[in-house]
Structure 1
Amino acid sequence: MNRNNSIIYFIACLLIFSHCSQDNAPETTTPTTPTSPVESNPPNTNYTPAFSGQTRINRVRTVSDYQVNNLTTSLSNPWGITALPDGRLLITEKAGRMRIVTATGEIGSPISGIPAVNPSGQGGLLGLCIDPAFASNRMVYWVFSESVSGGTVTSVAKGRLANNETNMEAVTVIYRSNTPYNGNLHYGGRVVFDRLGNLIVSIGERSSSDIRAMAQTVSSSLGKVVRITTNGQPASGNPFFSQSGALPELFTIGHRNPQGLAVHPVTGDIWQSEHGPRGGDEINRLQSGANYGWPVVTYGIEYGGQPIGSGIQQQSGTEQPVYYWDPVVSPSGMTFYSGNRIPEWQNNLFISSLSGTHIVRLVIENNKVTGEERLLSNEGQRFRDITQGSDGALFAITDLGRLYRIDRK
Structure 2
Amino acid sequence: MFTINLFPHLRRIVTARAASFAFLLFAVGLLLLTPAHGETIKSQKHSFTVDTITTGLNHPWSLVFLPDASMLISERNGGLKHVSKDHVVTSVKGLPDKLNYSGQGGLLGLALSPDFKTSRKIYLAYAEKGNYRKSGTSVISATLDEGTSSNTKTLSNITQIFQQYPKVAGGRHYGGRLLATEQHLYIALGDRGNRDKAQQNDTHIGTLVRLNLDGSIPFDNPFLSDPTSKPEIFSFGHRNIQGMTLDNDGATLWTHEHGPQGGDELNLMESGTNYGWPTITYGVNYVTGSSIGQGTAAEGMAQPVEYWVPSIAPSGLEMVRGNAFPNWQGDLLLGSLKFGLLVRVEIDDEQGKYVVAQEKLLDGKFGRIRDVAEGPDGLIYLLTDSSDGALLRLSPTPMK
* Normalised TM-score (structure 2): 0.83
Equivalent residue, structure 2, for 1:14: none
Q: How many residues align?
A: 346
Quote how far apart the aligned CAs of 1:110 are.
3.5
Query: Is 2:168 aligned against 1:185?
Result: no
Aligned mates of 2:115, 2:225 — CA distance in 1: 36
Instruction: Please name the residue that 2:264 is paired with.
Output: 281
1:348 paired to 2:335 = no
Counterpart for residue 393 of structure 2:
405
1:233 matches 2:233: no
Rg larger for: 1
Distance in 2 (alpha carbons) for counterparts of 1:321 and 1:292: 8
Among the aligned pairs, what percent are the same residue? 35
Measured in 2, the distance between the counterparts of 1:305 and 1:103 equals 50
Question: Are the equivalent residues in 2 in contact too, given 1:336–1:348 (CA < 8 A)?
Answer: yes
Please show how residues 48-197 of structure 1 align to structure 2 within 5 Å. Answer: 61-103=43-85, 105-149=87-131, 151-164=134-147, 165-194=152-181, 196-197=182-183
Structure 1 Cα separation of the partners of residues 325 and 58 of structure 2: 30
- 1:406–1:104 CA distance, 2 compared to 1 (3 A): farther
Relative contact order (C-alpha < 8 Å, sep 6+): which is higher? Answer: 1
Q: Do residues 396 (structure 1) and 382 (structure 2) align?
A: yes
User: Contact between 1:260 and 1:331, CA under 8 Å: does it hold in 2?
Assistant: yes
Once the two structures are TM-superposed, the CA of residue 241 in structure 1 deviates from its matched residue by 7.2
Task: Establish whether residue 259 from structure 1 lines up as the match of residue 265 from structure 2.
Answer: no
> Larger % of strand: which?
2
Structure 1 stretches of 4+ moved >6 Å:
none
| Amino acid of the structure 2 residue aligned with 1:200 | Y
How far, CA to CA, are the matches of 2:146 and 2:369 in structure 1? 31
Partner of 1:374: 360
> Structure 2: 5+ residue runs without aligned partners?
1-41
Unaligned runs of 5+ in 1: 1-59
The verdict on how the C-alpha distance between 1:241 and 1:141 changes in structure 2, with shifts beyond 3 A counting, is closer
What whole-Å deviation, never above 9, does each CA across 1:330-378 have from its counterpart, x for those lacking one? 0111111100111111011111110021111101113111111112224
Q: Which residue of the partner structure matches residue 36 of structure 2?
A: none
Cα contact 2:120–2:143 (8 A) shared by 1: yes
- Structure 1 position 163, deviation (Å): 2.7
Q: Is 1:229–1:235's contact at 8 Å kept on the other side of the alignment?
A: yes
Contact 1:351 1:360 survives alignment (8 Å): yes
Cα 1:273–1:359 change in 2 (3 A) is same
Pair 1:68–1:170, CA change in 2 (3 A)? same
For 1:283-362, what aligned pairs fall within 5 Å after superposition?
283-362=266-345
Q: Secondary structure at the match of 1:127?
A: strand
Equivalent position of 2:7 in the other structure: none
